Amino acid sequence: MTTSDPLVLAIDLGTTACKIGLVTPNGKVVAYTKESDATPTRFLPGGGAEQDTRDWWKVVTETTRKLLAEANEPRERIVAVSASAHWSGTVAVDRDGNPLGNAIIWMDTRGAPYVKEITGGLLKIEGYGVGKILTWVKLTGGIPTHSGKDPIAHILFLKNERPEIYREAYKFLESKDYLNYLLTGKMASDFATITLYWLTDNRNINDVRYSPKLIKMAGIEREKLPDLYPPTHILGELRPEAAEAMDIPAGIPVAMGAPDVQAPVLGSGAVRDFEPHIYLGTSSWLSCHVPYKKTDLFHNMASLPASVPGRYFVANEQETSGVSLTFLRDKFFFAEDELGTGAAPEDVYRRFDTLAAQAPPGSHGVIFTPWLYGERTPVDDPTLRGGLYNLSLGITRADIVRAAFEGVALNTRWLLKYVEKFIRKRFGPINFIGGGGVSDVWGQIFADVLDRPIRKVKDPQAAGLRGVAIVAGLALNMTSLEDYSRYVEVEKTFSPNPDNRKLYDELFDAFVDIYKRNHSLYRKLNGQK
pLDDT tens profile 190-227 = 999 999 999 999 999 999 999 999 999 999 999 999 99
Q: What is the pLDDT of residues 487-528, one digit of tens each?
A: 888 999 999 999 999 999 999 999 999 999 999 999 999 976
Is there a contact between 370 and 386 (Cβ–Cβ < 8 Å)?
yes
Which residue, among 312, 283, 314, has the nearest Cα to 425 in the 3D structure?
Answer: 314
Q: What is the pLDDT of residues 21-31, one digit of tens each?
A: 999 999 999 99
> Sorting pLDDT into bands at 50, 70 and 90, what band is 2?
low
Instruction: Give the list of residues 6+ apart from residue 513 with CB closer than 8 angstroms, or none.
Output: none
Partners of 473 in beta bridges: none
Q: What is the pLDDT of residue 19?
A: 96
**Distance (Å, whole) CA 413 – CA 402:** 16
Q: What is the pLDDT of residue 228?
A: 98
- In the predicted structure, residue 84 carries a pLDDT above the cut 50: yes
Q: What is the pLDDT of residue 487?
A: 80
**Distance (Å, whole) CA 429 – CA 456:** 10
In sequence order, what DSSP letters do the residues of 212-234 get, joined into one string?
HHHHHHHT--GGGS-EEE-TT-E
> Sorting pLDDT into bands at 50, 70 and 90, what band is 255?
very high
- In the predicted structure, residue 129 carries a pLDDT above the cut 70: yes
Identity of the residue numbered 510: A
Q: Where are the domains of the chain?
A: 323-421+497-525
Instruction: Give the list of residues 6+ apart from residue 20 with CB closer than 8 angstroms, or none.
Output: 9, 10, 11, 12, 32, 33, 60, 63, 64, 66, 67, 465
**Which tops the pLDDT comparison, 226 or 15?**
226
- In the chain, the percentage of residues whose pLDDT exceeds 70 is 99
Count other C-beta atoms under 10 Å from residue 357's C-beta: 16
**Distance (Å, whole) CA 165 – CA 159:** 8
Is there a contact between 107 and 41 (Cβ–Cβ < 8 Å)?
yes
Q: What is the pLDDT of residue 297?
A: 85
Q: What is the pLDDT of residue 181?
A: 98
Q: What is the pLDDT of residue 412?
A: 98
pTM of the predicted model as reported, rounded to 2 decimal places: 0.88
**Distance (Å, whole) CA 23 – CA 432:** 20
> Could you tell me which CATH class the domain 323-421+497-525 is placed in?
alpha beta
Angstrom CA distances, 26 to 248, 471, 483, stand at 21, 9, 7
Angstrom CA distances, 469 to 98, 182, 235, 475, stand at 28, 19, 15, 10
- In the predicted structure, residue 318 carries a pLDDT above the cut 60: yes
Q: What is the pLDDT of residue 1?
A: 46
- In the chain, the percentage of residues whose pLDDT exceeds 90 is 89
